[in-house]
A = this chain, B = another copy of it.
Amino acid sequence: MNLSRRKFLTKSAVGVTALGSIPAIVSSCVSPNSKETKDKYSILTKGDTIVFQGDSITDAGREREKELSNNPGSFGSGYAFLAASSMLNSLPEKELTIYNRGISGNKVYQLADRWQKDCLDLKPNLLSILIGVNDYWHFRDGHYDGTVEIYENDLRKLIQRTIKEFPSVNLVICEPYYVLNTSVVDESWVAPMKEFQTAAHKIAKEFGTIWVPFQKVFEEAVKHAPATYWTHDGVHPAMPGAQLMAEAWLRTVE
């Protein structure tokens, strides 16, 4: 019986090398800044509520009946689960309440339709929004007649409506992204998607929100493995892509 490749750990101690999830790709495409000296997640206060909003990328197969906070089933298997689990684990003293309210297929106007129930009623202290790819994709496929101007105006109205009710809410706008050389996304996506990204970034700057640069992160990732390793269709992340998104989100918000 060959035991040579099996490790023998009699002590209950576990290894202490750097954690596997150290975000090599995320850190390789960003520069150090002065935040190093600050407390982690200093924008979060004890008892805060965090809401993740978006489309299928955020939804990630969550159950939509109970919609519990801090509950694995209610979070699905995506970047929101990964990011929220990490925050809940590392910040138990903050007693955070975190919801995932993304719904597959949503465009901005559909967020607006359910904003009272799925955002304002939850009284968020931090609100993260990732929306936009369907605003383009469904238009491209002929199932939607919205334009980038409608996207920008609807997103602005959504932010204004949120700030009106919660003036001190921390806002996070995530960049809608696309990944080339995948089963769905090709070069014809680039120019129109850049318009949606520019519109989202414009709103982020207009309201001084945190901005998560997902496009840059995925463009760095494809230098390390084929595009389809991170996302099969160029939109929905595979497991390494979801982890990449969570790490980028955590570093940005932290």
Would you give the 0/1 interface string for A71-92, flagging 1 where the beta carbon is closer than 8 Å to chain B? 1110111100111111111111
**Given A15-B33, A208-B3, A254-B17: A243 and B168 interface contact (C-beta under 8 Å):** no
B15 touches A90 (CB 8 A): no
Is A171 in the interface zone, CB < 8 Å from B? Answer: yes
Is A188 in the interface zone, CB < 8 Å from B? Answer: no
Chain A residues within 8 Å of chain B by Cβ, number: 96
Q: Which residue of B lies closest to A82 (CB)?
A: B85
Please give the distance in Å from A84's CB to the nearest CB on chain B.
6
Is A47 in the interface zone, CB < 8 Å from B? Answer: no
Is A191 in the interface zone, CB < 8 Å from B? Answer: no
**Given A87-B20, A92-B225: A163 and B1 interface contact (C-beta under 8 Å):** yes
A90 touches B22 (CB 8 A): yes
Choice from B17, B168, B210 contacting A7 with Cβ under 8 Å:
B210
CA of A212 to CA of B24, assembled, Å: 25
**Given A2-B167, A77-B76, A224-B92: A21 and B211 interface contact (C-beta under 8 Å):** no
Q: Which residues of B contact A32 (CB under 8 A)?
A: 16
**Given A30-B13, A248-B14, A252-B14: A21 and B89 interface contact (C-beta under 8 Å):** yes
Would you give the 0/1 interface string for A127-147, flagging 1 where the beta carbon is closer than 8 Å to chain B? 000000000000000000000
Binds B, one of A36-44, A148-156, A176-184: A36-44
CA of A242 to CA of B81, assembled, Å: 10
Extra contacts, 12 of them, besides A12-B211, A17-B35 (Cβ < 8 A), are: A8-B205, A14-B26, A15-B252, A16-B30, A17-B254, A19-B247, A70-B239, A70-B240, A82-B85, A85-B242, A89-B244, A92-B240
